Amino acid sequence: MGQTTVTHDSHAAHGHDHHEQSFIMKYFFSTDHKIIGLQYMFTGMFMAIVGGYFAYAFRMQLAFPGMEVPLYGTVGPGQYNMLITNHGAIMIFWVAMPVLIAAFGNILIPLMIGCDDMVFPRLNRLSYQIFLLSVVVLFMSFFVQGGGFGGAWTSYPPLSAVAEYNLTDWGASLWLIAVALEFVAFLIGGINFVTTSMNARAPGMRMTDIPIVVWMIVLASIMFMASVGPLIAGSVMLLMDQRVGTTFFVPSGGGDPVLWQHLFWFFGHPEVYVVLLPALGIVAEIMTTFARKKLFGYKTILYTTFATGGLAFVVWAHHQFIAGIDPRMANIFLVTTLLISIPIAEILFSYVATLYGGSIEFRTPMLWALGFLVTFLLGGVTGIYLGSSALDIYFHDSYFVIAHFHSTFFPIAIIGMFAGLYHWYPKMFGRMMDETLGKIHFWGTIIPFNGIFLPLFLVGMAGQHRRIYNFQHFPDLATADLQGIRVFATVSLVTMLLFQFVFAYNFFVSMFKGEKAPANPWKSNTLEWTVPSPPPHGNFAELPTVYRGPYEYSVPGNKEDYWPQNMPDRN
Amino acid sequence: MSMQGPLATSRSATGIPTGRLGVWWLLASEIFIFGGLIACYILYRLNNPWWGGEAVFTKVPAGAFNTFVLLTSSLFIVLAHDAAEKKDFDRAFKFIWYTIGGGGVFLLVKYYEYSSKLFADDPELLKTPLTNTYWSFYYTATGLHALHVIGGMVIMALISFDLRKGFNPHRVELIGLYWHFVDIVWIFLFPLLYIAK
Ligand code: HEM
Ligand SMILES: [Cu+2]
Q: Is the CB of A466 under 6 A from ligand 1?
A: yes
DSSP string for chain B: ------GGGG--TTSS-HHHHHHHHHHHHHHHHHHHHHHHHHHHHHH-TTHHHHHTTS-HHHHHHHHHHHHHHHHHHHHHHHHHHTT-HHHHHHHHHHHHHHHHHHHHHHHHHHHHHHT-SSTTT---TTS-HHHHHHHHHHHHHHHHHHHHHHHHHHHHHHHHTT--THHHHHHHHHHHHHHHHHHHHIIIIII--
Q: How far apart are CA A239 and CA A235, in angstroms?
A: 6
Q: Is the pLDDT of residue A11 over 60?
A: no
Which ligand 1 atom is at minimum distance from the Cα of A89? 35
Q: In the prediction, which pLDDT does B166 show?
A: 87
* Residues A196-219: b if buried by 16+ CB within 10 A, e if exposed: bbbbbbbeebeeebbbbbbbbbbb
The per-residue pLDDT for B193 is 97
- Closest ligand to C-alpha of residue A318 is 2
pLDDT at residue A121 is higher than 90: yes
* Distance from residue A408's CA to the centre of ligand 1 (Å): 11
pLDDT exceeds cutoff 60 at A12: no
* CA-to-CA dists, residue B86 to A193, A529, B98, angstroms: 33, 46, 18
Q: Which of residues 15-34 of B touch A (CB under 8 A)?
A: 16, 18, 21-22, 25-26, 28-34
In a domain, B163, yes or no: yes
- Calculate the CA dihedral of residues B156, B157, B162, B164 and round it to 10 degrees: 100
Give the model's pLDDT for residue B120. 93
Within 291-310 of A, beta carbons closer than 8 Å to B belong to none
pLDDT at A77 over 70: yes
pLDDT digits (tens, 9 = 90+) for A180-199: 999 999 999 999 999 999 99
> What percentage of chain A has pLDDT greater than the value 70?
96
pLDDT of residue A21: 66
User: Can you tell me the distance from the alpha carbon of A327 to that of A329, in angstroms, rounded to the nearest whole number?
Assistant: 5
Transcribe A530-554 into DSSP letters.
GS-SSPPTTS-SS-----S-TT--S
Q: Is residue B7 part of a domain?
A: no
- The verdict on a CB contact (< 8 Å) between B33 and A116 is no
Please tell me if the CB atom of residue A272 comes closer than 6 angstroms to any atom of ligand 1: no
Nearest alpha carbon, ligand 1 atom 2: A52
Say if B22 falls within a structural domain.
Answer: yes
pLDDT, residue B6, reads 84
How many domains does chain B divide into? Answer: 1
Mean per-residue pLDDT, A495-513: 97
Give a yes or no: residue B168 inside a domain.
yes
Q: What is the mean pLDDT of each run of 10 residues along chain B (197 residues)?
A: 67 92 96 97 95 95 98 97 95 97 98 96 93 96 98 97 91 97 97 94
Tell me what the mean pLDDT of segment A313-318 comes to: 96
CB contact under 8 A, B36 and A116: no
Q: Which residues of B153-166 are buried (b: 16+ CB within 10 A; e: fewer)?
A: bebbeebbeebeee
| Distance, CA of B163 to CA of B34 (rounded, Å) | 31
Q: What was the pLDDT predicted at A489?
A: 98
pLDDT at A211: 98
Contacts of B80 (CB under 8 A, 6+ apart): B91, B92, B93, B94, B95, B96, B98, B99, B172, B176
H-run or E-run covering A441? helix A435-461
- For A:187-216, CB contacts with B below 8 A are 187, 190-191, 194-196, 198-201, 205
What was the pLDDT predicted at A28? 77
Quick check: A3 pLDDT over 60?
A: no
Residue in chain A lying closest to B143 (CA): A236
Task: Report the CATH number at residue B153.
Answer: 1.20.120.80
| B11, part of any domain | no
Q: Note whether residue B153 is domain-resident.
A: yes
**What is the secondary structure of A470-492 as a DSSP string?**
-GGGSGGG--HHHHHHHHHHHHH
8 Å CB contact between B117 and A230: no
Please indicate if any CB of chain B lies within 8 Å of the CB of A469. no
Q: Kindly report the pTM of this predicted structure.
A: 0.94
User: Which pLDDT score is estimated for A79?
Assistant: 96
State the pLDDT at residue B4: 61
3-state secondary structure of A431: strand
Whether A472 has a pLDDT exceeding 60, the answer reads: yes
CA distance B185 to chain A (A): 14
Task: Tell whether B6 is covered by a domain.
Answer: no
Coil, strand or helix at A396: coil
**Inter-chain touch A244–B130, beta carbons under 8 Å:** yes
pLDDT digits (tens, 9 = 90+) for A401-414: 999 999 999 999 99
As a whole number, mean pLDDT of residues A320-331 equals 91
A110 near B CB under 8 A: yes
Residue B9 lies in a domain: no
Going from the C-alpha of A397 to that of each of A77, A206, A448, A465, the distances in angstroms are: 18, 46, 24, 6
**Rounded to whole angstroms, how far apart are CA atoms B49 and B133?**
12
Pairwise CA distance, residues A313 & A308, whole Å:
9
Contact partners, residue A209, CB within 8 Å, separation at least 6: A546, A548, A549, A550, A565
Please tell me the residue having the least CA distance from ligand 1 atom 7: A55
- CA A294/CA A211 separation, integer angstroms: 12
Give A128-161 pLDDT, tens digit per residue.
Answer: 999 999 999 999 999 999 999 999 999 999 999 9
Is residue A493 within 8 A of residue A470, CB to CB? The reply is no
> Which residues in chain B have Cβ-Cβ distances shorter than 8 Å to A233?
33-34, 36-37, 40
| Residue among A185, A180, A93 at smallest CA distance from A131 | A185
Q: What is the pLDDT of residues A370-410, one digit of tens each?
A: 999 999 999 999 999 999 999 999 999 999 999 999 999 99
Domain containing residue B32:
17-195
Q: What is the average pLDDT across A218-246?
A: 97
pLDDT, tens digit (0-9, with 9 covering 90-100), for A167-180: 999 999 999 999 99
Separation of CA A147 and ligand 2 centre (Å): 30
Q: Using an 8 Å Cβ cutoff, are A418 and A445 in contact?
A: yes
- Average predicted confidence (pLDDT) for chain A: 94
Contact A115 B18 (CB under 8 A): no
Look at residue B9 in the predicted model and tell me its pLDDT.
85
Q: Is A240 on the interface with B (CB under 8 A)?
A: yes
Q: Is pLDDT above 90 for A27? A: no
Domain boundaries of chain A, sorted by first residue: 28-530
Cis status, amide bond into B191, omega within 30 of 0: no
For chain B, the residue count is 197
- State whether B6 and A118 contact (CB < 8 Å): yes
Q: Which CATH number fits domain A28-530: 3.30.390.10, 3.40.50.410, 3.40.50.300, 1.20.210.10?
A: 1.20.210.10
Q: Output the pLDDT for position B2.
A: 33
